[in-house]
Amino acid sequence: MSKLVALVTGANKGIGKDIVRKLAKAGYTVLLGARDVGRGETAAAELEGEGDIRPIAVDVTSEASITAAAARIRKELGRLDVLVNNAGISRSPTQPKAPTVTPASLVSLEEIREIFETNVFGVIAVTQAMLPLLREAPAGRIVNVSSGLGSLAGVADKTNPYRSVGGASYAPSKSALNAITLAFANELEHTNIKVNSACPGYTATDLNDHKGTRTTEEGAREPFRLATLGADGPTGTFSNEAGPIAW
């Protein structure tokens, strides 16, 4: 396989879809990961003409789905150069009419578990499954799509007007995701694999009922930059388009 290969999870819409578009335009063979096969195929069809884009079923909360995706990538492409862990939720899928973020004093443990299942455990599971393929690439890149709400420094800053927005569910899940980023970055620092967290900014997506002020194209810029880092690029960082973000 001469072309670089990338997998983007949660990519049938929103920021993930635009990350796929950018990588495809940059010449990558891009696997558009979606939990629902039909939605993935529809999204890939909508991106026809943008490059080599192939839908693939990946439910980050299903071990069987993740294992099957890794096996397919190995069989069809032989390696993976880029993994973008983009799939994420901001509220429990079993409570779609609930507020975007439930206050810490009211949020149920069930909701917290559901959010962590996708935003944290799902990332660990996918990364572990794809690491053997990434190790076979000349220079692997792992990008975890995080959020500025996961910055503990930001949450502790009393001048930050958004410090309470993430509550005890979504924001802590992104803090945990950042810790996972560092754990993998530290383990892999003597390899050719770089691991970083990207904040897309307040982007209009389903996660915030499209109230965000940035477009998905803008939100995809930092994940794309980190996915395409050169050999001299950093590892173990947390950043947005403006630069580093305090952990």
Catalytic residue list: 170, 174
Q: How does DSSP classify residue 208?
A: G
What contacts 16, CB < 8 A, 6 or more positions away? 8, 9, 10, 33, 84, 86, 87, 145
- How many angstroms separate the CA atoms of 55 and 11, rounded? 9
- Strands 243-244, 194-198: pairing kind: unpaired
- How many angstroms separate the CA atoms of 230 and 240, rounded? 18
The residue whose two tokens read 């209009």 is 204
How many Cβ atoms sit within 10 Å of the Cβ of residue 202? 18
- How many angstroms separate the CA atoms of 66 and 150, rounded? 25
Helix or strand run (H / E) with residue 5: strand 5-8
Measured between alpha carbons, how far apart are the two ends of the chain, in Å? Answer: 37
What contacts 47, CB < 8 A, 6 or more positions away? 17, 20, 21, 24, 32, 53
For 210, phi then psi, to 5°, come to 60, 35
